[in-house]
Amino acid sequence: MKSRRVQDGDIEGILAIQAACPEIAQWTAWDYDRVARDEMAGWVGEEDSGIVGFLVARKVVNEIEILNFAVSPNARGRGIGAVLLQDALSWGKTFGAVQAILEVRASNAAALRFYERHDFRTVGRRARYYNEPPDDALLLAANLA
Ligand SMILES: CC(C)(COP(=O)(O)OP(=O)(O)OC[C@H]1O[C@@H](n2cnc3c(N)ncnc32)[C@H](O)[C@@H]1OP(=O)(O)O)[C@@H](O)C(=O)NCCC(=O)NCCS
């Protein structure tokens, strides 16, 4: 697996992974076009078969926010998510970000375990933040400094 920044031709592959991941925000092609145009930072994991994962983040003052992140269901558990997350955290460190933050569905136990293993801690909860299905959001944060 090789990881690299998102390019124009990646959008279809990203949308195919997103469609298989009801846990994440369902963005449009237009949203990912903004990523390809560097309005947000994005990485894809790529194998010979095509794109197997993606992560989108943005800089918010002295923090980075992870906005959308998924690995293809049949490619999970092989460290692809860890590589994409490290790419984003390393990017944050290049401009002195002190913290990484994100929101995750409170029911998303696999993602919560994954983030815990990468030193994120729960710093807040937004009741009934999500619809379809309704769920609370947990706000997680990890120190980068
Ligand atoms: C969270 C997510 C991106 C992690 O991606 P990943 O490539 O599976 O991550 P990794 O392989 O680096 O780590 C997964 C962990 O689960 C374990 N695991 C084993 N089999 C697994 C499987 N079939 N599925 C998921 N995790 C598995 C891995 O061993 C690993 O544990 P470790 O860190 O102790 O080694 C992925 O589970 C996913 O896309 N989930 C759905 C979308 C989502 O919830 N996104 C986050 C929303 S904020």
∠ Cα 28 33 39 (to 5°): 115
Q: Which atom of ligand 1 is nearest to the CA of 55?
A: 3
Residue 128 CB-density burial (10 A; 0-12 exposed, 13-18 middle, 19+ buried) = exposed
Share of the chain above pLDDT 90, in %: 97
Task: With cut-offs at 50, 70 and 90, classify the pLDDT of residue 20.
Answer: very high
Which residues, in sequence order, are bridge partners of residue 55? 43, 69
For 2-143, which CATH class?
Answer: alpha beta
Q: What is the pLDDT of residues 72-128, one digit of tens each?
A: 999 999 999 999 999 999 999 999 999 999 999 999 999 999 999 999 999 999 999
Look at the alpha carbons of 95, 83, 43, 3 in this order and tell me if their dihedral is positive or negative.
Answer: positive
> For residue 112, how far is its CA from the centre of ligand 1 (angstroms)?
10
Reading the block at residue 53, the tokens are 């994962």
Average pLDDT over residues 13-17: 98
Cβ proximity of 87 and 101 under 8 Å: no
Q: How do 50-60 and 41-47 pair as beta strands?
A: antiparallel
Domain ranges of the chain: 2-143
3-state SS class at 77: coil
Residue with tokens 């989108």: 56
This prediction's pTM: 0.96
For residues 21 and 29, is the Cβ–Cβ distance under 8 A? no
Mean pLDDT score, 29-33: 98
- Protein residues whose CB sits closer than 6 Å to any atom of ligand 1: 21, 23-24, 69-71, 76-82, 102, 104, 108, 110-111, 114, 117
In sequence order, the 6+-apart residues with CB closer than 8 A to the CB of 43 are: 3, 4, 5, 6, 54, 55, 84, 87, 88
pLDDT for res 23: 92
What pLDDT does 145 receive? Answer: 86
Residue 91 vs residues 56, 72, 124: alpha-carbon distances, Å: 12, 23, 24
So what's the pLDDT on residue 91?
A: 98
